Amino acid sequence: MAVTVKSMHRPDPGRTSYLRAALKGMFLTLRHMVRPHKITQQYPEEQTELSPRWRGTHRMEVHADGRPKCVACGLCPTVCPANCIRLIGGEDDQGNRYPIVYEIDEFRCIFCGMCQEVCPVEAIHVGRDFENAEYSRDRFVYDLDRLMNADYPVTLLWDPEDQKSE
Partner 1 sequence: MDLAQPVSGIPFLITSTIKVAVMFGVVFLAVTYATLAERRVSAFIQDRLGPNRVGPFGLLQPIADGLKNLLKEESFPNSASRFYFVLGPMLAMTPALVTFAVIPFAAPLPTSWGVVDMIVADVPIGVLYILALSSLAVYGIVIGGWASNNKYAFLGGLRASAQMVSYEVALGLSLIVVLMLTGNVTLTEVVWKQQQLGLWYAFPLSLGFILFVISAFAETNRLPFDMPEAESELITGFHTEYSAIKFSMFFIAEYAHMITASALMATLFLGGWDLPGTWDNAFWYGGSLISGFDAQGSPIMATPALWKTLLTFASFVAKTGFFVLLYIWVRWTLPRFRYDQVMHLGWKILLPSALAYMMIVASTILILDQIGIIYGFTYGLVLTAVSILCTLAFVFYLDRGRIIEGAAVQKNGVIKKNPVAGN
State the amino acid at position 35 in one-letter form.
R
25 binds partner 1 (CB under 8 A): yes
Nearest of 53, 105, 57 to residue 77 by alpha carbon? 105
State whether residue 146 is helix, strand or coil. helix
Closest distance of CB 46 from partner 1, Å: 11
3 binds partner 1 (CB under 8 A): no
* Among positions 28, 88, 101, 110, the unique one binding partner 1 when judged by CB under 8 A: 28
Window of 22-30, 79-87, 112-120, 140-148 that interacts with partner 1 by CB under 8 A = 22-30
Site string for partner 1, 40-79 (x = CB under 8 A): x-x-------------------------------------
Closest distance of CB 141 from partner 1, Å: 32
**Number of amino acids touching partner 1 (CB under 8 A):** 25
Helix (H) or strand (E) segment spanning residue 34: helix 18-34
Cβ pair 58, 161 in contact under 8 A? no
33 binds partner 1 (CB under 8 A): yes
Cβ pair 39, 139 in contact under 8 A? no
Tell me the torsion sign for CA atoms 58, 99, 77, 114: negative
Helix (H) or strand (E) segment spanning residue 18: helix 18-34
State the amino acid at position 105 in one-letter form.
D
Measured from the CB atom, the residue of 9 and 137 that comes closer to partner 1 is 9
100 binds partner 1 (CB under 8 A): no
Window of 37-45, 78-86, 128-136, 144-152 that interacts with partner 1 by CB under 8 A = 37-45
**In angstroms, rounded to a whole number, what is the distance separating the alpha carbons of residues 33 and 28?**
9
Strand partners, 68: 62
Measured from the CB atom, the residue of 12 and 162 that comes closer to partner 1 is 12
Q: How far is CA 35 from the centre of its chain?
A: 33
Site residues (vs partner 1, CB under 8 A): 12-22, 25-26, 28-30, 32-35, 37-40, 42
